[in-house]
Chains A and B, each alone.
Chain A
Amino acid sequence: MMPILLIPLLPLLGFLIVGIFWPFFKGKGHLIALPLVTISWAIATMEFFKSFTAPPSLTLVYDWIRSGNLDVGISLQYDHLAAIMLFMVTTVAMLVHLYTIGYMHGDSGYDRFFAYISLFTFSMIMLVLSDNLVEMFIFWEAVGLCSYLLIVHWYERRPSWLAANKAFIMNRVGDFGFLLGIFLIYDTFGSVRFAEIFPAMASHLHETVNISAAFGGNWHVPVLDVIALLLFLGAVGKSAQIPLHPWLPDAMEGPTPISALIHAATMVTAGVFMIARMNPLYNAAPFALHVVAWTGAITAIVAATIALTQPDIKKIVAYSTMSQLGYMVMVCGLGGYGAGIFHLLTHGAFKALLFLGAGSVIHSLSGEQDVFRMGGLRKYIGLTFATMLIGSLALSGIPPFAGYYSKDLILVTAYQQGPLGQMLWLIGVLTAALTAFYTFRLLFLVFGGKERFHSEAHGHAVHPHESPLTMTIPLIVLAIGAIFAGWAGEHYGILNYLAQELPLPQVHEGAGGLSENALKGISVAVGFLGIIGAWVLYGKESAVPGALAKNLSFFYRISLHKWYFDELYDAVFVRPSFIIGRLFWQELDKGVIDGIVNGVGSFFRGSGVVMRKLQSGQIQNYAMVMGIGAFGLLAFYLVFNRL
């Protein structure tokens, strides 16, 4: 029991020490934060290996709310799903802590940064260990808060806080749905604990809820579908699925370690994790599952098309993250929760690797992020190149790297789910080709070809340099993960391990068509096809990409402008909000509210000006008034004989 409690507690301790006493650390915050996270990782690893034989455990840490039949505790539910997630989360968190020492060296907010990533690690661990929806929601919000705080790390820069606000507000939209989903669950099941909700699922299968009751309507829909969709809205926000995705690429304004830890490996996968955790609910809500699957598939392909043309190295990787999250969500929507979690884990390794590698590239060029101002870096930063090559191969799904196993599992699972699955499989295969293409486009532009960074606008010569050991060690460790994680997962039977919580999807009999090996062959083939395409277009200097962009300018513009989502939201939500805000500000607030307040003020001020005349300060005036008053009263008495 105790060791599991220590896993979240140690990063929390690190946050408290570094966060409260940060002025005393003066750039030494890692001395506290890193060892604590490392111990936490060691415990998580030990517990993970023990979990193969040990039964799942449930520890109540704190009995938080007990009111009527509402029973919310802060508990640690340690089962196979949590164990393997914790292993991944703490590993990446530890490596990112280490990487940060080199990457953020000399930054004015160095210790603050360590405090926040420790807080994030704590929140993410608690999110994974939650045993009820309220606890999950709290830490769901906490990781969102940490994401905000870390995106806005360089708060003097306007793009940083704009991106941070965008991330926070977009997540708020999703969290609204999540919260409503929790309310509806409590209303339906009378409990928010997983252990009580899941067994009761069958008895609510045919229950309906009138969703237009507020408008006097009478529109009954299955309650489980509504709950599942509302919770999924939260996942859409957190995991950057269409339509709540634009915050994720913008979040790349934050420091690169954050992009790797929060916006690639852990936090954005919380949505997928939540769907997997709630799988009995989703399995009982067929309509919601269709929505989930389609959302994931559309996100996967749209993000992949956007990544084709982006010039910013981190945005390319960000869109590939979005696309891979789309895969995970899609396969969850087809019932393959285990495959989704498997891809989540391998993706955590190779995407963190790609981000940290991108950070190393940016670091070596002193902050340059435009891939068209890089090139030929292979000579200078060989280690970064080697590790990023491994990460790219893993992302492209080339055997024997990690992405091959998990992505193929997703595609095979999809294909076996009947006609819908095969349609989504086709989208997935197309996305896989695009993924391989844009990944290697990035690789060729950054590491191959001519050196284009000399002609940059800064005016001074640039000398690319390999990053310090603290940054390269995480790259090497993650590269090992990117090579072996997939093989290990398949070899040790991750699906059977996870089957304790995540039931295996049923193979749709009679789907016919291609065998499993043929499917694997196809996805590897499209991966190679994408790489060859990238080599042809970007392997050496050629005029083909420019000519393609000109001839297909319609598609090129759509891709470059990210399908105009930002412009659409700007026109539909942002501008009207500003107009309404301005209306309330100028007319209601300044006109009516200020009018009343200022009116009261100026009334008394005006009457004061008039009344002030009476107060001449001349005693004789006062005496005169007194005398007239006395005579007046006397005269009144004498005339009317009464007072």
Chain B
Amino acid sequence: MLIYLVRRILWAILVVFVVLFITFLVFFKLPNGDPALRFAGKTPTPAMLDEIHHRLHLDKPWYIEFGYFVKTFATGDQYGWPGLGYSYNSFASVKSQIVYRAPRTLWLIAGAATLWLTFGVAIGVLSAVKRRTLVDRLAMGFALFGISAPVFWLGLIALYIFWRTLHWTAGTGYTPIAQGPGQWFSHMILPWVVLSMLYTAIYARMTRNNLLETLGEDYIRTARAKGLSERRVIFRHGLRASLTPIVTLFGLDVALLVGGAIITESVFNLQGLGWMAINSATQQDLPIVLGVVLCTATAVAFMNLVVDIVYAFLDPRVRYS
């Protein structure tokens, strides 16, 4: 088990490294603007630009610069370890930016994931158990809506109704939980619901289909033949087998949102990691982009590992092979 873990972690590190490398490559090989121009002010002289290029490490071939990036990362810089440098725009250290933005994104993910897992699975089970009834059709109709409705549209509609019209919630922006849990909640509830909508729909459909498939298995007939109650047949025998694939999906979905909840973070002006990444990308702010990519890639690699371990825990057939 320990050897397995070490091997998996080493692989994960390699994957993160490769992802960073590709991001680096994209920045250097597809330039659409010189970061030094922003630095230099209104009337840059060639000498100034050269000096800035040198300072930002943009004057050497990309492989040397990547080597420098790796070296700073490993040995640390003036902001400590790991050395991620500073933003070309705000001169703030990348690390401090990430530490400042991360709670917004993590709270967003935590709330939304709780919602979509709870409601997605519940709706899916209900739909499967009440198959071909009105309940099923309504639930699947909702799922279709959730899958089709674009997040930016949903977000704006939700803001219009619950903030502008009904005044039930706070508007856009973010209040840290330490400054008032009520305010925090009031700011987060709409993003949670809007972000979870699509996932709830997908999870409801998946749960329904998996459960229906499982309920057709021979071991479900055995469970009924034993004389178990229908409730036990569905929840203990049916759900157990149909939820395992959902665990895999859940881990990856959560990880991808670390840098990927871009639209939700923008519509609700939460200014989390995804928002920061997309802003920095348009401003050629490589260190920030690399920082967010590092977070997302690490989250994906880590969740992959967690999912595999949880899966082995849930399915003995995996555990023993």
To the question of whether A and B form a pair in one complex, the answer is: no
Q: Which residues of A contact B (CB under 8 A)?
A: none
Q: Which residue numbers of B lie inside 8 Å of A, CB to CB? A: none
